[in-house]
């Protein structure tokens, strides 16, 4: 049973993405209000070898062998938390590139790019996608709620240093949260830092999956338009991905679903649609088995039901604005 490699899943930026998850849920040094994986408890800052690299690379090799050319657009390192908290990233990126010509991406919050060894490890990737959701230390603390050691100066300094060092695709993500960073003032501050970082693209995204905090809302249309205008010519509004999720890499369908929703919570409608395509005869039985497995939970946001991992922790809506983590 594959445990660290999942998908391919439809990605709003990377097409059909085969995911590699090198950290356990939820291993992160941020506790973002919008995180689809729930709250971080506790915050972690130490880098470690969470799983043997050779085992992960063996799973990647097996997954690649199961797909025809053109069925996977990117191989993407995307953690159940912060990807670079796995200490063996450089070795794994090089290992994947040695076995396939499919480009390799790394999704990261960018918080550890101030460390020269992390910049060196990520240099082998074809694209690196860090985050910048705030243009000042106060908003950074409110949105990303990082470990106290991870200052705004370290974040922005690391992004600038990485750009000077990295010759490939640097795509910075800005996650907009209504009332926090979609104002003109906040966007002007973010834009000033983006000019210093000089990314190839800026991907403006919005929370479309269950946020850690129930009060989080996506921006309204005028907020998206404002971001597009202020963040510069390289900014693009990235809409939610569409497409079915692939479960066929697993023998146990429930385990395959858990493997996806642990890293990528799914709307119930998405799950049913994907199950109908994969196994139309027993959709109801599969959902019942998933509920009874003890490995999944339903999270409701704005009346929409999402399936997520049972161990993920979400605000239920009774503590509006709670920043305690």
Tell me the per-residue pLDDT of 44-94, one tens digit each, with 9 for 90 and over.
Answer: 999 999 999 999 999 999 999 999 999 999 999 998 999 999 999 999 999
| The pLDDT of residue 319 is above 50 | no
Contacts for 169 with CB less than 8 Å, ≥ 6 apart = 126, 127, 128, 200, 201
Q: Per-residue confidence at 243, pLDDT binned at 50, 70, 90?
A: low
- Report helix, strand or coil for 305: strand
CATH number for the domain formed by residue range(s) 5-309: 3.20.20.70
Please say whether the beta carbons of 212 and 34 come within 8 A: yes
Tell me the per-residue pLDDT of 93-144, one tens digit each, with 9 for 90 and over.
Answer: 999 999 999 999 999 999 999 999 999 999 999 999 999 999 999 999 999 9
Tell me the per-residue pLDDT of 177-232, one tens digit each, with 9 for 90 and over.
Answer: 999 999 999 999 999 999 999 999 999 999 989 999 999 999 999 999 999 999 98
Beta partners for residue 131, in sequence order: 173
| The pLDDT of residue 149 is above 60 | yes
So where are the chain's domains?
5-309
pLDDT on residue 49: 95
Q: How many other CB atoms are found less than 10 A from the CB of residue 7?
A: 25
How many percent of the chain have pLDDT more than 70?
A: 92
Contacts for 9 with CB less than 8 Å, ≥ 6 apart = 16, 17, 19, 245, 246, 260, 264
């Amino acid at each position: 049973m594959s445990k660290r490699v999942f998908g391919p899943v439809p990605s709003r930026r990377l097409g059909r993405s085969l995911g590699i998850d090198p950290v356990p849920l939820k291993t992160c040094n941020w506790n973002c209000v919008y995180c689809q994986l729930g709250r971080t408890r506790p915050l972690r800052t130490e880098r470690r070898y969470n799983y043997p690299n050779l085992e992960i690379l063996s799973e990647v090799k097996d997954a690649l062998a199961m797909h025809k050319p053109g069925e996977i657009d990117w191989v993407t390192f995307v953690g159940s938390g912060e990807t670079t908290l796995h200490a063996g990233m450089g070795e794994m990126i090089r290992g994947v590139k040695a076995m396939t010509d499919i480009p390799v991406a790394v999704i990261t919050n960018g918080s550890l790019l101030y460390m020269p060894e992390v910049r060196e490890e990520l240099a082998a990737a074809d694209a690196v996608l860090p985050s910048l959701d705030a243009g000042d230390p106060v908003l950074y603390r409110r949105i990303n709620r990082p470990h106290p050691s991870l200052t705004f100066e370290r974040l922005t300094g690391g992004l600038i240093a990485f750009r000077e060092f990295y010759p490939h695709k640097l795509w910075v993500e800005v996650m907009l949260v209504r009332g926090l960073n979609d104002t003109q003032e906040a966007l002007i501050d973010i834009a000033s830092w983006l000019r210093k970082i000089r990314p190839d693209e800026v991907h403006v995204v919005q929370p479309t999956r269950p946020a850690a905090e129930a009060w989080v809302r996506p921006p309204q249309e005028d907020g998206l338009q404002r971001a597009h205008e202020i963040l510069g010519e390289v900014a693009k509004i990235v809409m939610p991905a569409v497409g079915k999720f692939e479960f066929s890499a697993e023998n146990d369908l429930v385990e395959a679903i858990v493997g996806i929703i642990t890293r990528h919570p799914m709307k119930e409608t998405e799950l049913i649609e994907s199950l109908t395509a994969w196994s139309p005869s027993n959709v109801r039985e599969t959902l019942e088995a998933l509920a009874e497995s003890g490995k999944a939970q339903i999270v409701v946001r704005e009346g929409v039901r999402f399936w997520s991992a049972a161990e993920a922790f979400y605000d239920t809506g009774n503590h509006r604005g709670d920043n305690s983590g």
